[in-house]
Amino acid sequence: MHRVTDCKASRDYKLWLKFEDGLEGSVFLGNLLDLGVFSVWRDVDQFCRAAVDSQAATVVWDGGIQFDPDILYQDLLSSMAAKEFNSPGGFPGG
């Protein structure tokens, strides 16, 4: 299981994460605003209240919102791979 050690939410709905193994970067969570409990994040100040729960080793918000740290880890890896692929020369033959 991956463990989140630090986080910072920004007003553009990006969540910067740092994991126990040193992996760090940002994931975009604004695409969740229309889904159930995440609608409270339409008030961006609510989103920016993200914190690390050291016992659960993941990111939590008021109202009981939290994410599986393994899902966040995979989302971050996917986000980093997409940026690398879309950069100039980031694909075979590019």
Mean pLDDT for 76-93 is: 68
pLDDT 10s digits, 12-64: 999 999 999 999 999 999 999 999 999 999 999 999 999 999 999 999 999 89
pLDDT at residue 89 in the model: 54
Query: Does residue 87 contact residue 93 with C-beta atoms inside 8 Å?
Result: no
Is a pLDDT exceeding 50 seen at residue 92? no
Query: Does residue 18 contact residue 6 with C-beta atoms inside 8 Å?
Result: yes
If you compute the radius of gyration of the chain from its CA atoms, what whole number of angstroms results? 14
Domains and CATH numbers, the chain: 4-81 (3.30.2020.10)
pLDDT at residue 91 in the model: 47
